[in-house]
Structure 1
Amino acid sequence: MNLNHAEVIASFRNALEAVNGPLPGEVVADGEIHRYRTDKDKRGSLNGWYVLYLDGIPSGAFGNWKTGQQETWCAVDREQMTFEERATMARHAENVRQQQEQARKDRERRQKAVAMKVKTWWHWARPADPAHGYLQAKHVEPYGLRQDNEDGALLVPLTVNGESWVNLQRIWPNGSKRFVAGGRVRGCYSPIAGDKGGTNGPLYICEGWATGATIRALTGHPVACAMNCGNLRPVAELLRQRYPARPLIIAGDNDHHTEGNPGKTAAQETAQAVGAEWMVPSFPGGLPGTDYNDRYLLELEGRL
């Protein structure tokens, strides 16, 4: 079957971009997995991936490491293929599976190396200074955070079990943030212990750490900070499995100035998935802000 390569690549690119958004650069059709930065990735992240074969029946696959989404693609209807063409497709699929398995092993190896590194950083760091610029700007306490001795960055620990740290988010006094490259983020959270409710009381799940610190200060209950709205559900599912009968409250962001309000949508969908309650802050009159810390600061300023 003769197919125009330019048309094949254009069709593949259209299918890929419909899922992952714009693909930077050209499509490389060499049968190898290629990673790239999607328009939703933060700096240094390469969560988009694809692989395209042009031999036999052009076929490929693409997806997103962060969301776990994966799609297969073929230039023609599979029902129209010959036996030989189906065999070629099967070989392609097996090659993709093997490459993904190797990529998974490489990713886990990098994550283990980062986990060892951040444990060392955490051990040698000093307790966070309550006068740190970020804490002062957000009007929250450190709640057990540590601070880098060299550049003064706050160290926000991430865990999957509430104890062992697997990554860190570094927050500088000017508010800039960055995870340790190569470390695990999906399904991880930063815990803030509470002093009310014991082990049976409500457990809040929110996005950012400052939001979690605000909720902890106002309620006294423990909080799990998922760090972003896309991570709310993985964290909530993990905690629901660990605490099947405990009340969970998804305290989402209210992205009322963003089309589709992704923070509120994620909170609602997560709550429905794990049998939790959900809530988001209100910002009447078009006031700026998205999370509970933003609303708290507006209240301190007397604007609410």
Structure 2
Amino acid sequence: MTDTTQKARLPERNQAHVEAPPKAPPKHSTIEAALAEALACHGVTLAPKTSGRFERFDTPDKSKGNANGWYRIHSPEAASFGIWHLDVSETVTLDGPHDPAAAAAARLEAMQARERRERERRQREAEARAQALRWWAKAKPADPAFPYLERKALPPYNLRQRGDMLLMPLFFDGELVNLERIYPDGAKRPLPGGRVRGVASLIGHLAGANHVLIAEGWSTAAALHEAMGCPVVVARNADNLAPVARRLRQRLPEEVVITIGGDDDRHLPAKGKPNKGRVAARHAALAIDAHLLMPTFCDGCEACTDFADVRQCRKGGSHHDD
């Protein structure tokens, strides 16, 4: 009797084991969807692609082209992503939970990739610096009849010429590191791969000066130098005004007055965009407690945006290259 009872109950226990609750389906059907949702939590909207390589993306809290974010899809079930300046590094799965070991591996891989990119960036900058030194040494004095200079009605000042382009020297910590090429139509391009953040050019001489100005483009700086006789530092663009201003303030004696000569991009608000020139100039002035000088336009003039434009407008000439 006992043996029969045991045999009858064994199948019941086995049946109970087989009928365990089924595993819940994953939250996402694809790793791309899971990664897109995780990125959206950080304000990043994009459609991830499965390439097996590190892919870069812009973060919304930085300027366009910053490429401060990265992601990589490792398999159909796992991916990782990071944001450099926020020190964010996460692993994503179809189910959502993060695997600590995988996250650590992803952070290590991201760090190695960042170091590799940094080495490559330094190498590109070194090559551009060497090219700048070669070109600058062989360049000829700029021709005052160069089309860009003729339109601006300005002397060459600190420019040299190589073939059909003007060269403006760009310095960092007193060293020539890049060149801005100015073409006959007014287009401007630095050397590929060369350093651009914090670099600047100079019209006039800093030694012995008690007042120094900082402007965006070359023609604006040249117009200010002509009008005021002060040395003028060329920052190249609005984004570079504050970095250049900070470095200049550290270099100059405290008693030297610095003035930011800003551009007034007054046409941009009508397009739903901020007045970048005015905002950047004000920010640079506040950053170093400098004076701020903005152009005053002629009555009825709607085209001028900077001091070089105003100068040309009052002379009845053409402008708008900077």
Q: Distance in 1 between matches of 2:48 and 2:72?
A: 15
Any unmatched runs of 5+ in structure 1? 64-68
Q: Distance in 1 between matches of 2:173 and 2:26?
A: 54
The structure-2 alpha-carbon separation of the partners of 1:75 and 1:207, relative to structure 1 and needing over 3 Å to count, comes to same
Which amino acid is the alignment partner of residue 211 of structure 2?
Answer: P
* Among candidates 19, 29, 36, match of residue 10 of structure 1: 36
Q: CA deviation at 1:279?
A: 2.1
User: Which secondary structure does the structure 2 equivalent of 1:48 belong to?
Assistant: coil
TM-score (ref. length: structure 2): 0.76
The structure-2 alpha-carbon separation of the partners of 1:14 and 1:116, relative to structure 1 and needing over 3 Å to count, comes to same
User: Which secondary structure does the structure 2 equivalent of 1:129 belong to?
Assistant: coil
Q: CA deviation at 1:2?
A: 4.1
Asked if the contact 2:178/2:194 (under 8 Å) is kept, the reply is yes
Q: CA deviation at 1:210?
A: 0.9
Q: Distance in 2 between matches of 1:103 and 1:33?
A: 13
Asked if the contact 1:57/1:88 (under 8 Å) is kept, the reply is no
The equivalent residue for 1:66 is: none
1:193-212 mapped onto 2 (5 Å cutoff): 193-194=204-205, 198-212=207-221
Q: CA deviation at 1:249?
A: 1.1
1:60 aligns with 2:75: no
The equivalent residue for 1:254 is: 264
1:218 aligns with 2:240: no
The equivalent residue for 1:129 is: 143
The structure-2 alpha-carbon separation of the partners of 1:28 and 1:159, relative to structure 1 and needing over 3 Å to count, comes to farther
Q: Distance in 1 between matches of 2:314 and 2:41?
A: 46
The structure-2 alpha-carbon separation of the partners of 1:60 and 1:89, relative to structure 1 and needing over 3 Å to count, comes to same
User: Which secondary structure does the structure 1 equivalent of 2:157 belong to?
Assistant: coil
Which amino acid is the alignment partner of residue 300 of structure 1?
Answer: K
The equivalent residue for 1:34 is: 56
The equivalent residue for 1:230 is: 239
Q: CA deviation at 1:34?
A: 3.5
Which amino acid is the alignment partner of residue 230 of structure 1?
Answer: D
Q: CA deviation at 1:191?
A: 1.1
1:35-80 deviation digits (Å, cap 9, x = unpaired): 78x9x76xxxx642532145687541246xxxxx55736578xxx9
The equivalent residue for 1:185 is: 196
1:137-176 mapped onto 2 (5 Å cutoff): 137-148=151-162, 150=163, 152-162=164-174, 164-176=175-187
The structure-2 alpha-carbon separation of the partners of 1:301 and 1:70, relative to structure 1 and needing over 3 Å to count, comes to farther
User: Which secondary structure does the structure 1 equivalent of 2:144 belong to?
Assistant: coil
1:255-270 mapped onto 2 (5 Å cutoff): 255-258=265-268, 259-270=273-284
Which amino acid is the alignment partner of residue 148 of structure 2?
Answer: Y
Q: CA deviation at 1:225?
A: 0.7
The equivalent residue for 1:72 is: 88
1:277-288 mapped onto 2 (5 Å cutoff): 277-283=291-297, 284-285=299-300, 287-288=302-303
Task: Pick which of 231-240 and 88-97 moved more.
Answer: 88-97
Q: Distance in 2 between matches of 1:28 and 1:232?
A: 39
Asked if the contact 2:90/2:106 (under 8 Å) is kept, the reply is no
User: Which secondary structure does the structure 2 equivalent of 1:140 belong to?
Assistant: coil
The equivalent residue for 1:98 is: 112
Q: Distance in 1 between matches of 2:50 and 2:129?
A: 33
The equivalent residue for 1:48 is: 67
TM-score (ref. length: structure 1): 0.80
The structure-2 alpha-carbon separation of the partners of 1:255 and 1:98, relative to structure 1 and needing over 3 Å to count, comes to same
Q: Distance in 2 between matches of 1:210 and 1:2?
A: 61
User: How many pairs align?
Assistant: 279
The equivalent residue for 2:311 is: 296
Which amino acid is the alignment partner of residue 70 of structure 2?
Answer: V
Q: Distance in 1 between matches of 2:89 and 2:106?
A: 11
Q: Distance in 1 between matches of 2:37 and 2:253?
A: 45
User: Which secondary structure does the structure 1 equivalent of 2:111 belong to?
Assistant: helix
Any unmatched runs of 5+ in structure 2? 1-24
1:110 aligns with 2:128: no
Asked if the contact 2:168/2:179 (under 8 Å) is kept, the reply is yes
1:192-238 deviation digits (Å, cap 9, x = unpaired): 114xx853411111111111111111111111111110111111111
